[in-house]
Amino acid sequence: MSRRGPIRAAGVWSYLALAAMAVGLRVLVGCGSEIVATGGAGRGDWRHVGGGLVIVGGGGTPEGVVARAIEMAGGADCRVVVVPQASMRAEAGNESAEMFREAGARNVRVLRIEINKSAGDVVNAGGMVDAGSASNVQRSADAGNVANATNAANTGGAAYAKGAANMGDAAKSRDAANKGHASKAGGAVEAGGASRFRGDSEIEILNDADLIWFSGGDQNRLMRRLNEAGIADVIRQRFRDGCVVGGTSAGAAVMSERMITGKADLESIAHGGTELAGGLGLWPGVIVDQHFLKRRRFNRLYSAVLDHPDLIGVGIDERTAVIVRGDRIDVMGDSSVMIIDARNASTSAGERGRTATQVRVDTIAPGDSSRF
């Protein structure tokens, strides 16, 4: 491995030093202009093929990160689709949409999907149903059909059009968006301006997106909803086609192919101590963890990396983002990103614990970059 740029101590040095003494790490803290690392052949690949990634560690998304995501997707006229299924909060999608509108995005839609448990079909709640109404809309729709906005209003969920031109109007018809009202129950609600989206179904909306954004919540719930709705592969293909994909907290965790579920032994470093499941796999060769320093998650990511030494651990702290373009990452925000690389390490496990040597740990500060 080679490394360029000055080295300075980071705010998390004392925490890393304790971890180093406990498990025999070789700790390298790098906060220079760029850190360059090369791994052996066949030992994982950091490079991704497709659009850029904007991965936030939770705890709020700095304005500069939102602006960077919009810029990467083509500017203010880009089409942004917010996917809020990680959260059970009805307002989560609208809050994320408002974040992008305030940053200057003119075409923002919130994707709403529900699964009809009896028929196995997707029932779309229109992106505009208040808390507690989605299940009512689901029951009111015929199997395989979309519940319209009238049904939504009549089943206890007043349709809601935050950000639409006539904000007090309930959604009325499929062409409401063209009249300055909120869209009907067609997969999303438009947020401001004339629509540049060409369709209303989930797949049509995603295929039109220049930027797909995952809100925070529970990554397991998000992956379950995406898979049940049959749109996980659509998102993967959009990314391969050049769409920018981003997310925060749970929306960060799903970027990995092997996703941290949240179940982990936080008190020790143990074989199998961190549970992994299938994620979207948009960033191959890595395991992403979030809220990393704030919630002291070093042990769970380190354990996961030792269990899968071909993968590199990326721990992103709160209000901090990693921007991924090709084999380069840029760090933005308020805190640091930790990189755990065991591809050249020697590890062993015994009855009394694990031994790991030659594990590389780097800390990258905001404004710095890394190339692998």
- Taking only the tens place, the pLDDT of each residue in 330-339 is 999 999 999 9
Contact (Cβ atoms closer than 8 angstroms) between residue 113 and residue 231: yes
Angle between helices 232-240 and 219-229 (to 10 degrees): 90
Q: What is the pLDDT of residue 79?
A: 97
d(CA 305, CA 315): 11
Angle between helices 63-72 and 92-102 (to 10 degrees): 80
Task: Identify the residue with better confidence: 117 or 233.
Answer: 233
Contact (Cβ atoms closer than 8 angstroms) between residue 192 and residue 96: no
In the annotation, is 308 catalytic?
no
d(CA 259, CA 17): 27
Out of 133, 249, 335, 369, pick the active-site residue. 249
Q: Which residues pair with 323 in a beta bridge?
A: 54, 330
Out of 291, 335, 336, 370, pick the active-site residue. 291
Q: What is the pLDDT of residue 199?
A: 65
Q: pLDDT confidence of 195, banded at 50, 70, 90?
A: low
Question: Of the segments 30-39, 60-69, 150-159, which one has the largest average pLDDT value?
Answer: 60-69
Contact (Cβ atoms closer than 8 angstroms) between residue 31 and residue 7: yes
Q: What is the pLDDT of residue 244?
A: 98
Q: What is the pLDDT of residue 197?
A: 72
Q: What is the pLDDT of residue 372?
A: 74
Which residue, among 270, 320, 272, 259, has the nearest Cα to 295 in the 3D structure? 320
Q: What is the pLDDT of residue 171?
A: 34
Query: Is residue 10's pLDDT more than 70?
Result: no
Phi, psi of 232 (to 5 degrees): -60, -45
Which residue, among 189, 195, 199, has the nearest Cα to 160 in the 3D structure? 189
Contact (Cβ atoms closer than 8 angstroms) between residue 303 and residue 269: yes
Structural domain spans, the chain: 13-49+250-371, 63-248
Interacting residues of 135 by C-beta distance below 8 A, sequence separation 6+: 114
**Structure tokens that stand for 78 in this block:** 């880009």
CB atoms within 10 A of CB 162: 18
In the annotation, is 267 catalytic?
yes
Query: Is residue 370's pLDDT more than 80?
Result: yes
Average pLDDT value over all residues in the chain: 75
CA torsion through residues 43, 305, 332, 91, sign: positive
pLDDT, one tens digit per residue, over 120-140 is 444 443 333 333 333 333 323
Q: Which residue has the tokens 């039109």?
A: 208
Query: Is residue 110's pLDDT more than 60?
Result: yes
Q: What is the pLDDT of residue 214?
A: 98
Query: Is residue 192's pLDDT more than 60?
Result: no
- Cα dihedral 18, 22, 26, 27, rounded to 10, equals -20
Q: What is the DSSP letter of 290?
A: -
Q: What is the pLDDT of residue 2?
A: 38
Out of 2, 118, 267, 351, pick the active-site residue. 267
Picking from 68-82, 155-169, 353-367, which range would have the lowest pLDDT averaged per residue? 155-169
* Ramachandran region, residue 185 (left: φ > 0; alpha: ψ -120 to 50; beta: rest): beta
Interacting residues of 120 by C-beta distance below 8 A, sequence separation 6+: none
**Structure tokens that stand for 135 in this block:** 């299940």
Architecture of the CATH domain 13-49+250-371:
3-Layer(aba) Sandwich (3.40)
The CA-atom distances, in angstroms, between 324 and each of 49, 104, 164, 235 are 11, 22, 32, 17
Query: Is residue 260's pLDDT more than 70?
Result: yes
pLDDT, one tens digit per residue, over 111-123 is 988 555 443 444 4
According to DSSP, the β-strands at 53-56 and 244-248 are parallel
Q: pLDDT confidence of 300, banded at 50, 70, 90?
A: very high
Q: Which residue has the tokens 């084999």?
A: 327
Mean pLDDT of 50-64: 95
Which residue, among 222, 238, 215, has the nearest Cα to 99 in the 3D structure? 215
Mean pLDDT of 41-68: 78
In the annotation, is 195 catalytic?
no
